[in-house]
Amino acid sequence: MSISAKNTAAPSLVIYDDSRLVRLWRNWLSVAGTIPLDKWLRNNLRELAGFVPSEQTTTRKNNFPQLSLPDQANLALAMNHALRFQQLACALEFTYQEFCNTNNYPNINWMEWDQQWQARDLQTLTPAAFWYWIQLRMEGDQRKQNQAQLKDAEKRRNFFQQLLADNYFSQPDVNYLWFGLRPQWKALIEERKNISHWSDEQTDLFLQQQTSSPPLWLRAQTDKPLAEISAQLSAQGANAVLDPQHGIYVQGGVGVNSTAEYKSGLIEIQDLASQLIAQTVAVKPGQKVWDTCAGAGGKTLSIAARMNNKGALIATDLHDYKLEELKRRVKRAGAFNVRTFSWNGEEPLRLPKEVAQQQGFDWVLIDAPCSSSGTWRRNPDARWRFDEADTQELIQLQQKILRNSMPAVRKGGCLVYATCSWQASENEGQVNWFLQQYPQFELQSQRILGAPELDADTMFVAVLKYR
């Protein structure tokens, strides 16, 4: 893929030398890897505004003005840019310093460099240098920023533009850095390309998609026309778009959770790929379904909506706090046939009486714990927690859940295995393992959902029928 200054994410209105942004970044580096970025930002943007909320009043703590919603959105956007391209910033600084020492492009083995790189290397970059590299990556220096803080800003800008002119980032391995991905992941993505029969163009699109967030997809919990729901959301300040094929999504504007449609349960926030997984559970009213790893219940609610409060839907999870959120969402959606309780996956489920009478569930959904590589677009900080050793532990956990969920499927029923990962070892590899262990099941289908085909997360789903 040829890379140029125009081949970046859409230009933003971020002021990259904003002192508040520098403060945010320094605070983030002290906790990076211990808390998800979105959760961390919610707390730190409030603190940055200089207020401590209370029931009746607020107290200013510093000289920063109160943050407007656009300011909050732009600071959060900049932090997402930084998390996507933090390794690229380190690579640019390394290359630039080597160039300054020799006056020639250094001959760098980027695969070896990547193997040695660690997130703590970010501490060696001054905030001005770091944010200038991020600005150049995002905007190609369309605006003059960081000039006063960097004595060599013009030299850095010329260096960056020369790299682009020479197609430096189109070279093997280093092009992964350009897309916010580690070169060492190249083999994994090539494996996905081969298994899914992606063309070069599809693979290039998948890489490009990793540089931006997908839209916020919504799922309607009502028969009301989608055009009417979209119009009502837009009237309340949400930038809602009606996709004729896939439904409603939102890009900016007021928060969806503040709208009347969300508060009343008419809509739910659910990524399009996740919606497609839930639709793979082709449930009919009156059937029995078990959502084994239900979490906060996005797929549970989608399945329940097609059951018309007939039959039984059991939703379990290891974490009780997630089930509490699920209960609230189920009540808001008006689903009365959903039961929840905790299940740790250590042993087969003791079947509820009505399920035991028919010798198992018609459908068992395993939305398995996984590396979450398919959500990197939405959660850029998660990519830097990706680790091969962790993946091997997850594979063992996935197999344990498969082993202990399988006995709950009735003959003629289906087990649906899903992840929010594009890694073959967590997906097709696990399906192959399962079929070898349990030949009484046959594969009905398996596929990757979402990106690159759709502007969404990337997920996997397989349907296995008990013959």
Angle ∠(266,38,387) on CA atoms, nearest 5: 115
Confidence of residue 4 (pLDDT cuts 50, 70, 90): low
Q: Does residue 229 contact residue 220 with C-beta atoms inside 8 Å?
A: yes
Q: Does residue 313 contact residue 300 with C-beta atoms inside 8 Å?
A: yes
Q: What is the per-residue pLDDT for 253?
A: 77
Domain with CATH 3.30.70.1170 in the chain: 215-270
What pTM was computed for the model? 0.91
Taking residues 330-358, what's their average pLDDT?
92
Q: What is the per-residue pLDDT for 43?
A: 84
Domain with CATH 3.40.50.150 in the chain: 276-466
Each residue's pLDDT tens digit, 398-435: 999 999 999 999 999 999 999 999 999 999 999 999 99
Question: How many other CB atoms are found less than 10 A from the CB of residue 412?
Answer: 11
pLDDT higher than threshold 70 for residue 452: yes
Chain-wide mean pLDDT for the chain?
89
Long-range contacts of 66-75 (CB under 8 A, 24+ apart): 67/20, 72/45, 73/252, 74/12, 74/13, 74/14, 74/15, 75/14, 75/18, 75/20, 75/21, 75/24, 75/41, 75/45, 75/48
Each residue's pLDDT tens digit, 281-297: 999 999 999 999 999 89
- Pick 442 or 297 by higher pLDDT: 442
Each residue's pLDDT tens digit, 223-248: 899 999 999 999 999 999 999 999 99
Distance CA 435, CA 463 (A): 12
Confidence of residue 20 (pLDDT cuts 50, 70, 90): confident
Angle ∠(37,34,189) on CA atoms, nearest 5: 70
Taking residues 106-122, what's their average pLDDT?
93
311 strand-pairing partners:
none
Distance CA 417, CA 359 (A): 20
Taking residues 37-57, what's their average pLDDT?
67
374 φ/ψ angles, rounded to the nearest 5 degrees: -75, -5
Q: What is the per-residue pLDDT for 45?
A: 83
Q: What is the per-residue pLDDT for 73?
A: 83
CA distance between the termini of the chain: 46
CATH superfamily assigned to domain 215-270: Sun protein; domain 3 (3.30.70.1170)
| CATH placement of domain 276-466 | 3.40.50.150
